[in-house]
Structure 1
């Protein structure tokens, strides 16, 4: 394994820094696991629905508008960092709703629109990895089942990304990595990220099921919705709304449409009694 990493590092001209090599290898492993999980569930098939594609484009446009307004209207660096972190909220939502591939697509489109240089750099690549991992973590716990899953998944995705690709970036830029340097790198965007995570806590599982149907990472069984049996037990005459049925599983996106044939009534000749005078 060490020889393979050394050969790969020499081929990519990464130098002889083991921290850079191992952190990049950890980030690559994280991305590989997320992509394998995405391909296994065919989560990209959700984009075949026009509604999902429109949701992806709207999320990228909202995030881009937030970044543009922050750069144009705000002059205070702290307020600008706050707005830039909060602008990731719509990207987090689509990644949580549709899975790793859609999260990666949202990150790539956003990176292409907001890259500082002619091409995306380290920061854009780290954001794409974070959205990819976030879509993977959204499989379980799912925000379609419990409210707290959204902010928890976003927090874990950010920690995993900062601990792998973020460490690799510091090792490449500074030549060394320390906890103080890692925290200083996160200090500018952290308040805005906290706002984005708090906004995710406001989105209920019903919101995800209604606003983003047809997701390939939706829970497969009704046991993932613990609130449904209690609501269904309510009396309809009391004015309480009936609970919604659980969302169909991923296989429902490609399920063939079956037409039911209407049974026709056969015309049967009437049976006349024996004493009928017309007989």
Structure 2
């Protein structure tokens, strides 16, 4: 795995993603307060992991990234931001800090924050629909995103998280919760690239297995950081999960057990990439480099 390869890819594409988001959201609404609220959270920073994963899949399969690909691939960041705005609300996680800045509802009020999230969700589908990609591709990507974020995906996981607070969940239930809440949108990010690159099903399967293992590793790593990091390091409150009796991997398995589970998830992702490379005869080092996020 090559951290330099990932750093070079991020250096090329993250600024372009950020610039695109900034430009396209300048006239996102004729209501100034709504537009300001939407832009505030979307442009607050972040790794841009999900659109980067989509673009990385296109790169692996030799697809030249056109403005249509960029628009359809970047749209996921709007959906991700909507989920963060709503997740931070007092009725949910009640967070006052996100990426080192006040959360949206602290800055704009709960009512506007809710509506900003409500606006970002359909705008996500608008960007995919008017991207200029072929109609069949648009339909496939729209369906995949709706499934990933709807009542059997991200929202289902959020409900399980809210209702599970204060109750002990067994490991299978915790894994299912995070497959939905966190993993579904990462699964979709890889899937979107596979759709746009028109990758055959036999090659899609191991790459979606990679995405699922990556999503699991991402959540375990996030849980570990909540225990081991400071608010200054993370840009958000830490130790809240334990304080609020949320179900986490360190809480269930202990810190050592969580770190071992993280290693197992990374190993599963690596194995899936090896399988995909053998079937496709495509080099998967760029996708493997994304796993360096979980290593020092």
TM-score normalised to structure 1 length: 0.33
- The answer to which structure has the higher helix fraction is 2
Mark the structure with the bigger radius of gyration: 1
